[in-house]
Amino acid sequence: MTEQSSDGPRSALPGSRMCAYCKEMTGNPVAVGAVHQNSGPGWTVYACPEDAARFLDRAGLWAALMDHALRCGPCRGTTDGPGCAVARVLFDAHRGAAGTGR
């Protein structure tokens, strides 16, 4: 799949989103919020795994980690903790988050 730009075609990366905090493109976006409108469609707000803790509480980070683990091959194949770098970032953010929970 390609998109047209002013300097020619470029490949579109499915699943890439811009982080709401650092404004960098990430191939591993974490949904951190939603914008609702009275008219027209709303949209989902994304962050990179490193910045997800700025938007999510401890329970939200756990949900993001579980969502990632269900879709990531290396994470599905392990019971010894995070199976990839993205899971490690989310796991560490969850452990460092304030509050009660898992």
pTM: 0.74
43's enclosing H/E stretch is: strand 43-47
> What confidence tens digit (pLDDT) does each residue in 3-59 have?
444 544 444 445 899 999 999 999 999 999 999 989 889 999 999 999 999 999 999
Give the model's pLDDT for residue 18: 95
| Position 1 confidence tier, pLDDT thresholds 50, 70, 90 | very low
26's enclosing H/E stretch is: strand 25-26
| Position 88 confidence tier, pLDDT thresholds 50, 70, 90 | very high
Contact at 8 Å (CB) between 73 and 53?
Answer: no
